[in-house]
């Protein structure tokens, strides 16, 4: 429901009815609507544990296509709820939501550096920031595909794969920390 309507337009009673449970059960497990929303945000942005994700193999293009395919599968699985949660359309400028999203972006940046075969770069704030900037493109492209329908999945895949290849082959080497230089 949080993916269908703005946060303020969703009531706890409606959530309980849709879930087929008593409202008190939601309050028992989550406290209130905001706490339930925070649980939804955490669920939407939590990556699978590293041991549950196989690292892609093959050429750079094959690995990039596998990574982007995995990202798009994840977006498709959660649809409009993922779009709303990752684009701050939920409860607005809530510091707790922002903290969850920031932690998720950091974790995703570290995971991406591992997936592209450069885990040693995860300590660099600049390179994590580059990957987080790429994640911003993923979020906007996901919105254009899932909610606006202005791009197809294939077009989004191409955009994200081409951009990720460029980040890996050109941007990271240009920004990569040099020995003895602190980033």
Query: What is the C-alpha separation between 112 and 91, in angstroms, rounded?
Result: 28
Q: What does each of the 183 residues of the chain score in pLDDT, given as a tens digit?
A: 777 777 778 888 888 898 888 888 888 888 888 888 888 878 777 766 555 556 678 899 998 998 899 889 888 988 887 787 776 555 566 788 888 888 888 888 888 888 888 888 888 888 888 988 998 999 899 999 999 999 999 999 999 999 999 999 999 999 887 665 554
- Which pLDDT does position 64 carry in this prediction? 92
Instruction: Give every CB contact of residue 120 below 8 A, 6+ residues apart in sequence.
Output: none
Length of the chain (residues): 183
Give the per-residue pLDDT at 37: 82
For the chain, which residues make up each domain, given as ranges? Answer: 47-175
Q: Which residue has the tokens 């995860």?
A: 122
For 133-168, give the DSSP string. Answer: HHHHHHHHHHHIIIII-SS-HHHHHHHHHHHHHHII
What helix, strand, coil percent values describe the chain, rounded to 5?
Answer: 75, 0, 25
- 123/46 Cα distance (integer angstroms): 20
Which pLDDT belongs to residue 183? 46
pLDDT of residue 54: 65
The pLDDT assigned to 159 comes to 98
């Amino acid at each position: 429901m949080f993916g269908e309507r703005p946060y303020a337009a969703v009531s706890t009673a409606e959530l309980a009815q849709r879930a087929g449970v008593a409202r008190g059960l939601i309050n028992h497990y989550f406290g209130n609507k905001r706490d339930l929303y925070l649980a939804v945000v955490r669920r939407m942005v939590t990556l699978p544990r590293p041991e549950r994700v196989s690292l892609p193999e093959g050429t750079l293009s094959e690995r990039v296509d596998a990574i982007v395919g995995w990202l798009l599968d994840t977006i498709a699985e959660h649809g409009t709820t993922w779009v709303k949660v990752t684009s701050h359309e939920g409860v607005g400028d809530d510091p707790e939501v922002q903290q969850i999203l920031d932690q998720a972006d950091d974790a995703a940046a570290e995971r991406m550096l591992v997936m592209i075969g450069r885990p040693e770069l995860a300590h660099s704030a600049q390179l994590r920031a580059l990957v987080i900037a790429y994640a911003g493109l993923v979020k906007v492209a996901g919105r254009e595909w899932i909610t606006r329908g202005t791009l197809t999945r294939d077009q989004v895949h191409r955009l994200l794969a081409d951009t990720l290849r460029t980040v890996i082959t050109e941007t990271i080497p240009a920004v990569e920390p040099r020995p003895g230089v602190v980033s």
